[in-house]
Amino acid sequence: MTRRFYLENEHGQQFHFKYHSGVLLSNVLGLGFQLNMTYLKYGHIHKTVKRETPLTEISGLLNFMDGYQGYQRFIDYLNQGRDNLKLYYVSNDIKYVHVDVVSLSKAEIKAGLLSCEITLNKKSYWIKERQIIIDITEVLDGKVYPYPYAYTYQITQEGQTTIDVGGSFNANVIIEMEGSVDHPEINVTQNGILVSSLRLNLVEEDIKIQISSVADNKYLKMIKNDIETDIYAHQDFEKDNFIELKPGRNTLEFKSGVMEDTLCKVHIFEYHLG
């Protein structure tokens, strides 16, 4: 499969680097990773004591097939929102990285083509969003769909499913519960051992609960009758609550605490080095 790239801003507007848009991205460097390692020496053996991920760059060559007109279209796109840009990389799957455009050269047109060097700072790991569909009333182990076609659906009174989580680091999640709850719980196990859990001291009907463990956007909130309420104080402080999923096989168990069907969605963010 031919790889391709595109940008997406905070408003969901996209700029694709492909022949049909008149802008091609080539000579791309920096898609991999770099680690800063700290060692302690024991005799002739070095022991790794610390790993850090520095801020690195992605660079490439933008080729505007319609010259300065295409260049201006790209500048206009950046002016619509450049603070929360994502660079998507599509090959056998889809990943994205948060970036800042830090430099863009402007050269002369040669043979009708304007070529400009672009440099982007990578502000995150490569992120792959995972979704699974679970319906305990029909299948016990659920179905798995690749991004971007589905969220995770779990319609059950008490049910569980197993999912393999990829990446090099713990995955963050956004959990949504829709319906009625009575002290709802989510438990995560690996190899039969409880590794993370969530419990809310809350009894409500016809509500939506959202819990995010995403590092720069953590929250617990409830939406009822279109009114949003912070429910941080309603968490069971003996639990993790901001659940993270370790790489490998995870079993998720959801307990709504009520007899009615309650919808539970889990949106998973895997973090990859490259």
Q: Are residues 102 and 164 in the same domain?
A: no
Q: Which residues of 21-39 are buried (b: 16+ CB within 10 A; e: fewer)?
A: bbbbbeeeebbeeeeeeee
**Residues 37 and 162 occupy one common structural domain:** no
Q: Tens digit of pLDDT for each residue in 148-177?
A: 444 554 444 457 788 899 999 999 999 999
What pLDDT, on a 0 to 100 scale, did the predictor assign at position 155? 45
CA 8 to chain centre: 14
Residues 190, 254 share a domain: yes
Report d(CA 65, CA 25) in Å as an integer.
11
How many CA atoms, within 13 angstroms, populate the side-chain half-sphere of residue 13?
10
For the four alpha carbons of 244, 208, 257 and 201, in that order, the dihedral sign comes to positive
Tokens 């090959």, located at residue: 91
**Buried-state track 140-164, b at ≥16 Cβ within 10 A, e below 16:** eebebeeeeeebbbbbbeebbbebe
- Choose the final residue of a domain: 94, 124, 154: 124
What CATH number should be reported for the domain holding residue 114? Answer: 2.40.30.200
Domain extent at residue 26: 4-124
Q: Which range has the worst mean pLDDT, 24-28, 94-98, 140-144?
A: 140-144
Number of structural domains (the chain) is 2
Specify whether 177 is located in the same domain as 250: yes
- Same domain, residue pair 117 and 154: no
Phi, psi of 258 (to 5 degrees): -130, 165
Residues 184 and 239 in one domain: yes
Pair of tokens at residue 84: 């929360």
Mean pLDDT score across all residues of the chain: 87
Q: Looking at the structure, do residues 157 and 267 belong to the same domain, yes or no?
A: yes
Cα separation, 3 vs 92, whole angstroms: 8
The model's pLDDT over 49-77, given as tens digits with 9 standing for 90+, comes to 888 888 899 999 999 998 889 999 999 99
Contact 200, 234 (CB under 8 A): yes
Do residue 83 and residue 177 come from a single domain? Answer: no
The C-alpha atoms of residue 142 and residue 9 are separated, in whole angstroms, by 33
pLDDT confidence of residue 222: 97
Separation between Cα atoms, residue 230 and residue 36, nearest integer Å: 39
Which pLDDT score is estimated for 106?
A: 78
**Shared-domain flag, residues 118 and 157:** no
Global confidence as pTM: 0.84
